[in-house]
Amino acid sequence: MRQLLLFISIIFVGILFIARLFFLQVYQDNSNNLYEDNAIRKVFDYPKRGFVYDRNGKLLVSNQPSYDVMVIPREVKALDTLEFCSLLKIDKEQFIKTYNKAYKYSPRLPYVFLPQLSKEDYAVLQEKMRKFEGFYIQKRSLRNYETTIGANVLGDIGEVNQRIMNKNPYYKMGDLIGMQGIEASYEKTLRGVKGIKFIQKDRFNRNIGPYKKGKFDTLPESGKDIKTTIDATLQAYGEILMTNKRGGIIAIEPSTGEILSMVAAPTYNPNLLVGRERSKNFNKLIRDSIAKPLFNRSIQGVYEPGSPFKLMNALVALQEGVISTDEKVTCYAGYKYGNRFMKCHCRSGTRNDMVHGIQESCNAYFATVYRRILDKPENASLGINIWSDHVKSFGLGNFLNNDLYVGQKGRIPNRDYYKGIYPKTFYSTYTISNAIGQGEVATTPIQLANMIAAIANRGYYFTPHIIKEIKDETLDPNFTIPKYTTIDKQHFEPVIEGMLSVYKHGTASHLQVPGIDICGKTGTVENFVKMDSTRVQLTDHSIFVAFAPKNDPKIAIAVFVENGYWGGRFAGRIASLMIEKYIKGEVTRTDLENWILSHSLEDEYAKPYSGEPFKINGETKLQVIPIEEANKLRTKLNKLEI
């Protein structure tokens, strides 16, 4: 028995050690990941971020160097603080505060002492830098916007936050990432791939050489330049026209789906979001909860489409064969259904065929048409689903799946949607407001523009997109393969004829542009909002959709002006001007231009917030801006021509 004591002890200790090893090396979570190894320093080599051009090759976004003053507290030697502070334009208190912060962070590691020096300060400081041991200047690359336009299109870049880093381990503390617009949706293309060097550290955090002779190091891959579909001149023109208004303009080239301009008003100068003032400016913009400059109304604004939606109903009716183009519908200054009445501005007894129905935007005509669509099958439940599918084939009621960073689905109801309100019986009259683009239908301006592009193409569209060209890359086939609607080609001509006569004889006859056959449709949308939990009606929104020329369409456009009284007043004028500007390169209807430049809706927007009683829909005087202001805008416009 005495022999066993040592024997058992040896076996016991051996097993104990193996168990402990198992606990330390297998059971405990430990990874061999180089990136998480704190014995290895990772040094990133940032590539140049790609430039952004407009469709004609005009440079919109480039890079600019920025200089950060860095400090390694341990290496700081006695220095002339006064001189240093005056060079950096800071006071001594701030110097001491920042230095202590840096020391607390780590005495051995570099810390950003003062971010983003101006070029001038840098030039002065650089000469004297050697006098201040422990401090050095680190170059960083920032965005440089060559224009003041397209803030909503171009977007901006900012430092990644914890959430982004958790989601995508590529990003490390301090990295920049596209936050909005193209910068966000083409982040991967623009940023390139950063290079990495692995450096072996010792226990004092000093570098002792490349890890494995640099076997795992990678070189940075520079970001690719991209060409967008935006026409910088048209974009700038649209932004000037939209000054003092809120809303959006979307112009699309129907034959390709390329977005020519995407104006959101109000807008801001993209350079505000670059450099030292970025966070201050960003806060200002995001806290403006009334004008919402960061809200891209042309793609995020969901509104009832109003009269332009009548075009949709006309097309569905023809496809379903519930009306012929010649059939006339009598309007009794409105449409009576059951014991209710939908008003119309036609004289009572007017008999409209399709072209005139569109031209005069007759509510009675489209109410009739809409009911016939829904009632064609045995019940309206089936009917509304058929209707809904046709409408959705134009890209309405769903995300467009394009390369814009934000978007909205809008809403095209079907029977399921109404299940909550009308669980059992369902008649076509229940949803009659859909006939005239009010009620439950809702769209974004870009969806409306796309719908017009599909009409202009007589039956198909290309998903609207903002990318024109990336070097050495082919575009996403989603953007180059046409998407067909469920409406046959021949049914488009009568509708287009109606749209043409809107300009020739109808609600937009005063907006004609000599030499261009424009097909359009006005829209006036009743505007109810909830204020202090009561439903209040505000001034109607002004909507206009159009494409031109009639044969061989070059531009399809949707303009939306909040509280713009009626379709032809603001939106129609802007649409005509944009079309003329794009097709002819210059504007002959300077009367329209002057009117738009000199009129403002700011007073209109201030109404609900003024606290005083107010009147709506044209019962107030239109606001005219002072002549000097208008002249300023005019000068800006003239500069565009060159």
Partner 1 sequence: MFRQTDRHFKFDWVTIILFLILVVFGWMNILSASHTGTTINYLDISQPYGKQLMFIGLTLLLIIFILSIDAKFYERFSSLIFIVSMLSLVGLFLFGKNVNGATSWYGIGGMTIQPSEFAKAATALAAAKYISDLNTDIRTFKDQIRTFIIIIIPAFLILLQNDAGSTLVYASFFFVLYREGLPKIYLTLALALVAISILALKFGPIITSVFAILFIVTNYFIQKKKPVVLQPILTALACIVIAFGIKFFYQNILQPHQQDRISLWLRLEKDPQKVAEMRRDILYNLYESEKAISSGGFSGRGFLEGTRTTGKFVPEQHTDYIFSTVGEEWGFLGSMFVVIIFVLLMLRVLKLAELQKSQFSRVYGYSVASILFFHFMINIGMVMGLIPTIGIPLPFFSYGGSGLWGFTILLFIFIKLDSNRINEW
Contact predicate 325/355, CB 8 Å: yes
421 binds partner 1 (CB under 8 A): no
User: In whole angstroms, what is the distance from residue 518 CA to residue 555 CA?
Assistant: 10
Applying the rule CB under 8 A, the residues between 509 and 568 that interact with partner 1 are none
Q: How far is the CB of 202 from partner 1 (least distance, A)?
A: 5
Among the residue ranges 207-215, 256-264, 322-330, 581-589, the one whose residues contact partner 1 (CB under 8 A): 207-215
Q: How far is the CB of 38 from partner 1 (least distance, A)?
A: 9
Name every residue whose Cβ is closer than 8 Å to that of residue 329 and which is 6 or more positions away in sequence: 351, 352, 353, 357, 362, 364, 365, 368, 369
Applying the rule CB under 8 A, the residues between 177 and 206 that interact with partner 1 are 200-203
65 binds partner 1 (CB under 8 A): no
Number of Cβ within 10 Å of residue 119's Cβ equals: 10
5 binds partner 1 (CB under 8 A): yes
Nearest partner of 34 among 219, 162, 211, judged by Cα: 211
Q: Which is nearer to partner 1, 18 or 606 (CB)?
A: 18
Q: Which is nearer to partner 1, 213 or 535 (CB)?
A: 213
Q: Which is nearer to partner 1, 17 or 341 (CB)?
A: 17
214 binds partner 1 (CB under 8 A): no
Q: How far is the CB of 3 from partner 1 (least distance, A)?
A: 6
Buried/exposed 552-569: b ≥16 CB within 10 Å, e otherwise? ebbbbbbbbbbbbbbbbb
215 binds partner 1 (CB under 8 A): no
Q: What 3-state class would DSSP assign to 50?
A: coil
Q: What 3-state class would DSSP assign to 292?
A: coil
Buried/exposed 7-42: b ≥16 CB within 10 Å, e otherwise? eeeeeeeeeeeeeeeeeeeeeeeeeeeeeeeeebbe
480 binds partner 1 (CB under 8 A): no
User: In whole angstroms, what is the distance from residue 557 CA to residue 521 CA?
Assistant: 11
Q: How far is the CB of 212 from partner 1 (least distance, A)?
A: 8
Q: How far is the CB of 175 from partner 1 (least distance, A)?
A: 24
Please count the residues of this chain forming the interface with partner 1, following the rule CB under 8 A.
35
* Helices and strands in the chain, H and E counts: 23, 24
96 binds partner 1 (CB under 8 A): no
Q: Which two tokens stand for residue 314?
A: 């006309």
Q: How far is the CB of 33 from partner 1 (least distance, A)?
A: 10
Applying the rule CB under 8 A, the residues between 6 and 35 that interact with partner 1 are 6-7, 9-11, 13-14, 16-18, 20-22, 24-26, 28, 30-32
Q: Which is nearer to partner 1, 14 or 626 (CB)?
A: 14
Nearest partner of 541 among 522, 514, 554, 517, judged by Cα: 522
Q: How far is the CB of 27 from partner 1 (least distance, A)?
A: 10
Nearest partner of 103 among 113, 89, 94, 93, judged by Cα: 113
Number of Cβ within 10 Å of residue 218's Cβ equals: 14
Q: How far is the CB of 203 from partner 1 (least distance, A)?
A: 5
108 binds partner 1 (CB under 8 A): no
User: In whole angstroms, what is the distance from residue 55 CA to residue 62 CA?
Assistant: 16
Q: How far is the CB of 215 from partner 1 (least distance, A)?
A: 11
Q: How far is the CB of 98 from partner 1 (least distance, A)?
A: 27
216 binds partner 1 (CB under 8 A): no
Q: Which is nearer to partner 1, 28 or 339 (CB)?
A: 28
The DSSP 8-state label assigned to residue 225 in this structure reads P
Name every residue whose Cβ is closer than 8 Å to that of residue 3 and which is 6 or more positions away in sequence: none
Q: Which residues pair with 249 in a beta bridge?
A: 263, 559
Among 43, 208, 286, 606, binds partner 1 (CB under 8 A): 208
Interface positions with partner 1 (CB under 8 A): 2-3, 5-7, 9-11, 13-14, 16-18, 20-22, 24-26, 28, 30-32, 37, 39-40, 200-203, 208-209, 211-213
